[in-house]
Amino acid sequence: MSAPRKLSLDDVRHVARLARLAPDEATLQKLTLQLESILGNVAKISEANTTGVEPLAHAVPLHNVLRDDVVEESLPLEKVLQNAPETDPPFFKVPKILGGDEDSAG
Amino acid sequence: MQFPDTLISARDAIRSKAVSAVELTRHVMDRIAAIEPTIRAYNSVHAELALEQAAGVDAGERGGELAGVPIALKDNLCTSFGTTTCSSKMLANFRAPYDATVVKRLAAAGAVFTGKTNLDEFAMGSSTENSAFHTTRNPWDTDRVPGGSSGGSAAALAAGLCVASIGSDTGGSIRQPAALCGLVGIKPTYGRVSRYGLVAFASSLDQIGPFGHTVADAALLLNVMAGHDRKDSTSVPGEAPDHLAELERPIDKLRIGIAREFDLPNGMDPEVKASFNAAVAQYRAMGAELVDVSLPHTEYGIAAYYVIAPCEASSNLARYDGVHFGHRTREPVKDVIELFSRSRSEGFGEEVQRRIMIGAYALSSGYYDAFYVSALKVRALIKRDFDEAFKRCDVILSPTSPTPAFKIGEKTGDPMQMYLCDVFTVTCNIAGIPGISLPCGFTTGDKPLPIGLQLLGPAFGEPKLLRAARMYEAATEWSARRPSV
């Protein structure tokens, strides 16, 4: 990662697809320049000497927290569904999935 | 009638019945009616609920440490009343099905909730300009930003539109607005306060914390909010200490660490630097010992932060899909992927999409090791720096922000310039340690702007950190100043 490589519009389009975002062409161009600047700046981390250093995901030591497998009260169905854009209780509604999806990669 | 405007004085006045909870709440609501149109600190004001809660206190039905005190909540804390919007179009109509643990605890302590405050969308920003709804203004100079991302909570308190407030801090989002608005703000140790019901931005960095006019006000709120919660597995088990118990007792032979890496050669405002130096001199005059410490990886802090936080954000924000809750596109879509993408691009603002993109890039195949893993290694080094430094000192002093409040619009054109505002605050979150900002001076000029002093302490060292802050506060007058709004 020494020298941040130039980002192409296609690179950014690819990342947008991974992130499930749909920027228009103008936004895509702007994002390309901004991401290039930001990624160029954050690439500074590669200058730190990290030989033999273990990555640290959490600053405070954490371990798994377990509890007995007993049924506890859950949110009532109407509260779970109350913010959904479209429902057919007890289901969330989405467009038809089978057949129309060519974007299974990523 | 003169109304108390600090948390402790308000609590005491209500206890002694010098003022009723309803009277104080009405007074705050009157101020909101008069001043809020200028400041725009709130996304929603809940006058009816607040008066009902206050009446409950006056009737003796509600009691506790915060009985009757009007408190504002950042609008990324889930409340079973009203909406929880994160200042995003994505959640503009979102009604949380439950209360965040801190909201429950504050309510159980008798707090009165004035409303939900504005923020940078999903807490991503340093000026509150990234709100999808409106810009919040700094009560000290309404042409300037209040800081961010908890800018609404800070502005509301500074303008007297509440008596204390709650924010969240992922890279400085409590401390920086506290500094820019002349308040005390605490970022607790990671794990000290439950994050259950805080809408997630970067889960390994986020902490909820208080704003107050004084260290004691913030300490009282921390007491109420701190402690283990089985609904947040990252909250630490065991009882939290009483942060007020020994607050007034000065620390004998306090060792103040001064990190040479925090002495920025460029980009530090001269008045900030002068105020900081005066604060150091004040500590020395109080008998503190100054210790030179080194935090050699500070220069990588911003870079590591702007990899780790966006990576976690891109993962956390994957849940906004236009299916379970939040905005859904009205455009016809050919499949479910298009439903996701269109809903997300319509619902998220520019900065949020930018950070999701940075995160998705840094986590993508081929870049994961170079960006994400490298950033986590730098994180280990930054934590090690602090561990070493705290062997030799009790607290580390720095300015909170390199500049006072900047003009609205000044930094919106260049995201990287905005990110550099966080140079003193991000390493605290990266290392999981506690930090506090308190007022340490004002700029000169016809509209004086507050300047903040940051104290950092070792993990779970809040009691001593707050005592060290209180020593300075007790010796100076800065916290007593109010803006003339």
CB contact under 8 A, B377 and A97: no
> Is the preceding peptide bond at B87 cis, omega within 30 degrees of 0?
no
CB contact under 8 A, B357 and A12: yes
- The alpha-carbon gap from B207 to the nearest alpha carbon of chain A, in Å, equals 13
Q: What is the mean pLDDT of chain A?
A: 87
Element (H, E) at B259: strand B255-259
Q: What is the mean pLDDT of chain B?
A: 97
Q: In the annotation, is B74 catalytic?
A: yes
3-state secondary structure of A47: helix
> Scanning every residue of chain A, which has its alpha carbon at the shortest distance from the alpha carbon of B320?
A20
Note the pLDDT of residue A4.
53
What are the tens digits of pLDDT across the range B186-239? 999 999 999 999 999 999 999 999 999 999 999 999 999 999 999 999 999 999
pLDDT band at A105 (very low <50, low <70, confident <90, very high): very low
CB contact under 8 A, B230 and A82: no
State mean pLDDT over B40-44. 98
3-state secondary structure of B423: coil
The pLDDT of residue B111 is above 50: yes
Picking from B302, B341, B460 by the largest number of A CB atoms within 10 A of its own CB, the best residue to mutate is B341
CB contact under 8 A, A79 and B97: yes
CB contact under 8 A, B378 and A50: yes
Nearest of B262, B412, B422, B402 to residue B350 by alpha carbon: B412
pLDDT band at A104 (very low <50, low <70, confident <90, very high): very low
pLDDT band at A99 (very low <50, low <70, confident <90, very high): low
What are the tens digits of pLDDT across the range B89-106? 999 999 999 999 999 999
CA distance to B23, B97, B377, per residue, from B47 (Å) = 13, 21, 48
Note the pLDDT of residue A5.
65
Note the pLDDT of residue B8.
98
The pLDDT of residue A100 is above 70: no
The pLDDT of residue B67 is above 50: yes
What are the tens digits of pLDDT across the range A35-57? 999 999 999 999 999 999 999 98
pLDDT band at A12 (very low <50, low <70, confident <90, very high): very high
What are the tens digits of pLDDT across the range A18-34? 999 999 999 999 999 99
Phi then psi for residue B226, to 5 deg, are -75, 160
What are the tens digits of pLDDT across the range B133-188? 999 999 999 999 999 999 999 999 999 999 999 999 999 999 999 999 999 999 99
Which DSSP string do the residues of A8-27 spell out, in sequence order?
Answer: PHHHHHHHHHHTT----HHH
Q: In the annotation, is B365 catalytic?
A: no
CB contact under 8 A, A22 and B344: yes
Q: What share of chain B is helix, strand, coil (3-state, %, to 5)?
A: 40, 15, 45
What are the tens digits of pLDDT across the range B335-372? 999 999 999 999 999 999 999 999 999 999 999 999 99
What are the tens digits of pLDDT across the range B316-342? 999 999 999 999 999 999 999 999 999
Picking from A34, A35, A45, A101 by the largest number of B CB atoms within 10 A of its own CB, the best residue to mutate is A45
State mean pLDDT over B279-292. 98
CB pairs under 8 A between A and B: 185
Q: What percent of chain B has pLDDT over 70?
A: 100
Structure tokens at A101: 């999806």
State mean pLDDT over B408-413. 93
Residue B52 identity? E
- For residue A37, the chain B residues in CB contact (below 8 A) are 415-416
Nearest of B260, B237, B212 to residue B466 by alpha carbon: B212
**Strand B70-74 versus strand A91-92 pairing type:** unpaired
The distance from CA A82 to its chain's CA centroid, rounded to whole angstroms, is: 25
The pLDDT of residue A106 is above 50: no
Note the pLDDT of residue A50.
96
State mean pLDDT over B402-420. 92
B455 and B395 in contact (C-beta within 8 Å)? yes
Residue B206 identity? D
pTM for the full model?
Answer: 0.96
- For residue B367, the chain A residues in CB contact (below 8 A) are 1
Alpha-carbon span B229 to B108, nearest angstrom: 15
CB contact under 8 A, A45 and B341: no
Note the pLDDT of residue B424.
96
What are the tens digits of pLDDT across the range B245-259? 999 999 999 999 999
The pLDDT of residue A1 is above 60: no
- The alpha-carbon gap from A25 to the nearest alpha carbon of chain B, in Å, equals 13
Note the pLDDT of residue A98.
67
CB contact under 8 A, A59 and B297: no
Closest Cβ–Cβ partner in A1, A35, A58 for B358:
A35
Closest Cβ–Cβ partner in B367, B370, B377 for A53:
B377
Closest Cβ–Cβ partner in A60, A75, A97 for B97:
A75
Which value does ipTM take for this structure?
0.91
- The alpha-carbon gap from A75 to the nearest alpha carbon of chain B, in Å, equals 8
